[in-house]
Amino acid sequence: MSLVVYLAALVFGMTSVLLFRRPRTAMRNPLTQSTCAAIVLGALVFVCAAPATLATVNELTGVPNFGAPLTYGMLSAYSCAVLVLLINWRGGSRERVRRMVLRTMAAYGLLVVAIVVLFALADADTERLTDLDTYYAGTPFMREMILLYLLGHTAAMLVMCAVCVKWGREVGGLLRAGLRLILLGALLDVVGFQLTKYTAVVARWSGHDLDFLSTTVAPPMASLAALLCSAGFALPRLLPPVVAHWRGLGDYRRLDPLWSLVKSVSTAPKPPASWWQLPQARLQWREVSIHDALLALAPYFDHRVRERVRDTALGAGRSPHEARLAAEAAMLADAARRAVAGEEPPETPGTYRLHATEVLGPSGLVELAQTLDRPPAASGGAVPSSRTGPMAEPEEPHVA
């Protein structure tokens, strides 16, 4: 059982590591701080609740069941952190947020103190590593301590459920998806963990034995609930950059035909070769290098080539935009051939801006690269027969 709990704590804690991947930025963001604090405390609850940890803590302190107030106090701190996270997530004026956070921390701080005091007053000399809640359900002071930590956690989860339902009607997209995951996790916590604990404790009061609900059913339900909540908190924060890097990797690869054509004339400095470099950084470097190469090739643009291919594409029924892309691809391929062959620029140069340089981001370059990679029939015409000499290439804007 300890191994399963430790594994849940590890998975839970890794979410915090991902969110805290940029410490300097994260430390200035209250939302990131509170998210990481809630997830770390949740992971610590699992670590403290593992039977192996409880046995070690009891042995080191020399106090039977000392791990109980430690675990319950950590769970109360986690409940407080969840509420603080919700407060920061909701936002508002700085003073209002600060006031609500302080009130929440004060309330749960008193709860932790009460748990410790009640444990100190109780007679709990028999060590129980898995069934303490039901074993001491009728013991004075221990009974109150158990109910107190359960009520504190229940209050936090019910507030979270209410907030998620309310906010879910006001937002959309990833934020709504995250709220639904949090709501699912909170409901699972209430039903699968807390309700089973309450049922097992009340059963003991009435002379029945339903301890399996507390010892067998509740722990895995609590683990699953916490993982769902952490996923809900992290999803709106982690998924957008992940999607952005995935798209960046796709754009980086789609630029290959264009980069293969112009890389020989690019003078942009090469970045250090790092296999771990993020796709967005690789894409940014390739964009800069391609734009640098396009500037170098501009004097070699032959506008007669462009106009001829454009007219051919329009005559073939292509849209004006497709015809322009096909014409620019042909002109660029011709310019690259001239530059590599050391030929003189055309006698009638002119000022012309490629479509790829008129739009922000890599989309224009990607369009140009994909036009280069299409067969001549699809791109609206081949590169004209001005390609002559020993370095002539097939008469098409395709670059392998």
- Tell which of 220, 246, 272 closes a domain: 246
Encoded tokens for 298? 């501009």
Is the residue at 318 inside a domain?
Answer: yes
Asked if the model's pLDDT at residue 242 lies above 80, the reply is: no
Is the residue at 162 inside a domain?
Answer: yes
Mean pLDDT of 294-319: 88
Query: Does 263 lie in the same domain as 192?
Result: no
Query: Does 163 lie in the same domain as 302?
Result: no
Query: Does 165 lie in the same domain as 276?
Result: no
Task: Say which residue, 400 or 318, is predicted with more confidence.
Answer: 318
Query: Does 223 lie in the same domain as 276?
Result: no
- H helices of 206-302, in order, are 211-212, 218-254, 256-262, 279-297
Structure confidence by residue, pLDDT tens digits, 41-95 = 888 888 888 888 999 999 999 999 999 999 999 999 999 998 998 888 777 788 8
Is the residue at 389 inside a domain?
Answer: no
Query: Does 79 lie in the same domain as 44?
Result: yes
Query: How many other C-beta atoms can be found within 10 angstroms of the C-beta atom of residue 230?
Result: 25
Residue 19: its pLDDT value, please? 60
Query: Does 275 lie in the same domain as 140?
Result: no
Query: Does 329 lie in the same domain as 205?
Result: no
Is the residue at 397 inside a domain?
Answer: no
Is the residue at 171 inside a domain?
Answer: yes
Q: Please check whether residue 179 is in contact with residue 164, taking contact to mean a CB–CB distance below 8 angstroms.
A: yes
Query: Does 137 lie in the same domain as 83?
Result: yes
The boundaries of the domain holding residue 65 are 2-246
Asked if the model's pLDDT at residue 199 lies above 80, the reply is: yes
Encoded tokens for 376? 């001549």
Residue 396: its pLDDT value, please? 40
Query: Does 139 lie in the same domain as 66?
Result: yes
Distance of CA 235 to CAs 16, 144, 170, 174, Å?
12, 37, 18, 7
Q: Please check whether residue 227 is in contact with residue 8, taking contact to mean a CB–CB distance below 8 angstroms.
A: yes
Q: If residue 79 lies in a helix (H) or strand (E), which one and from where to where?
A: helix 67-90
Alpha carbon 378 to chain centroid, angstroms: 39
Mean pLDDT of 338-347: 83
The torsion defined by the Cα of 101, 106, 111 and 113, in degrees rounded to 10, comes to 140
Residue 378: its pLDDT value, please? 43
State the pTM of this model. 0.66
> How many domains are there within the chain?
2
Residue 382: its pLDDT value, please? 45
Query: Does 342 lie in the same domain as 215?
Result: no
Is the residue at 372 inside a domain?
Answer: yes
User: In this structure, what CATH number is given to the domain that contains residue 111?
Assistant: 1.20.1070
Residue 390: its pLDDT value, please? 33
Residue 8: band (very low, low, confident or very high) from pLDDT cuts 50, 70, 90: low
Is the residue at 370 inside a domain?
Answer: yes
Query: Does 353 lie in the same domain as 205?
Result: no
Asked if the model's pLDDT at residue 152 lies above 70, the reply is: yes
Asked if the model's pLDDT at residue 158 lies above 70, the reply is: yes
Query: Does 342 lie in the same domain as 193?
Result: no
DSSP structure string for 327-394: HHHHHHHHHHHHHHHTPPPPSS------GGGTSSSSHHHHHHHHHHTS-HHHHTSPPPTT--STT---
Mean pLDDT of 181-194: 92
Asked if the model's pLDDT at residue 21 lies above 60, the reply is: no
Is the residue at 398 inside a domain?
Answer: no
